[in-house]
Amino acid sequence: MTVLILQFLFVCSFGQAQQTTTILLSIGDCREGGHGFYGIDTDSVSFYRLPEDTLAFRVSVRAKRFPIKLTNTPVADYRIAYRNVFRQLVVKQIRLTDQKTNSIRLCADSVLNYSKNTLAKLQDQDTISIYLESQGCESSFNSKILIRKEGDNFVARLYEDTVLYRTKRKMIIKGWGLIKTMVLTTQNIQDFQRFENEVSIVWKMGCTTEERYEIKSKYWNLETTDGDCDWWGYSFLKRSFFGKKI
């Protein structure tokens, strides 16, 4: 009888230990209009099994097609760690459920903290100007967004260089032309706060296109360069403020 009971317990324990699932893993840009889940510049995702918090496995994700299929993964709680596009270490806790597949979609486009909020400091008629000089293999352009506090509203104006004429040797710039004016919505304000916190730590090398920023206001001044092919913060901000057709 004792032998039978021990055998039964062994079979049950063995069966529980073998509960596995298939992970469909994706990591990428979760922003609307972003790169999506491909080509993100990060190396690997590490899985630490809990509660032991020991490394279970590490998955290389660079230059991979998503989703990555990870078969025969033990059903358990895990702490996962990976680098976002700003090279910050992101740590999350997940729970795999006892089912055929578990899909995991990781966003690498966000920073860890969004505490900066310069718009909240602006008084009536205060401004923030964002000047962008973009240079790449296929195109180069200059653009500027001016945000002004007008009463209870924030009004954004988009300016871009207008070309008077071109010759084979030079391009004559007519000057800044006003393209569009918009009153910012709550979502626009949130998108600006996201831009403000990300532009300060964006990666400065690695892409054939280089975008140089000059940001000026009474409360925030910054000169920096975005040399990363993953972020494109100015383009997302301009699209948020002025629409996709600009």
Domains of the chain: 19-107 (2.60.40.1120), 118-242 (no CATH)
Q: Are 219 and 122 in contact (CB under 8 A)?
A: yes
Q: Give exposure, 94-124, as e/b (b: 16+ Cβ within 10 Å).
A: bebeeeeebebebbbbbbeeeeeebbeebee
The pLDDT of residue 164 is above 80: no
- Give the three-state DSSP class for 191: helix
Residue 83: band (very low, low, confident or very high) from pLDDT cuts 50, 70, 90: very high
- Give the three-state DSSP class for 211: strand
**Which tokens hold the place of 246?**
């600009």
Alpha helices in the chain (DSSP H): 2-17, 186-199, 233-242
pLDDT score of 1:
39
How would you classify residue 125: left for phi > 0, otherwise alpha for psi between -120 and 50, otherwise beta? left
pTM to 2 decimals? Answer: 0.80
Find the helix packing angle between 186-199 and 233-242, rounded to 10°: 170
Supply the DSSP string of 109-178, one letter for each residue: S--S-----GGGGPPTT-EEEEEEEEE-SS-EEEEEEEEEEETTEEEEEEEEEEEEEE-SS-EEEEEEEE
147 to 122, 124, 176, 215, 220: CA distances (angstroms):
10, 11, 16, 11, 13
pLDDT score of 35:
63
d(CA 89, CA 110): 11
d(CA 110, CA 236): 13
The residues near 200 (Cβ < 8 Å, ≥ 6 apart) are 116, 222, 224
Residue 6: band (very low, low, confident or very high) from pLDDT cuts 50, 70, 90: very low
d(CA 246, CA 243): 6
Residue 167: band (very low, low, confident or very high) from pLDDT cuts 50, 70, 90: low
- What confidence tens digit (pLDDT) does each residue in 195-226 have? 999 999 988 766 778 889 999 999 999 999 98
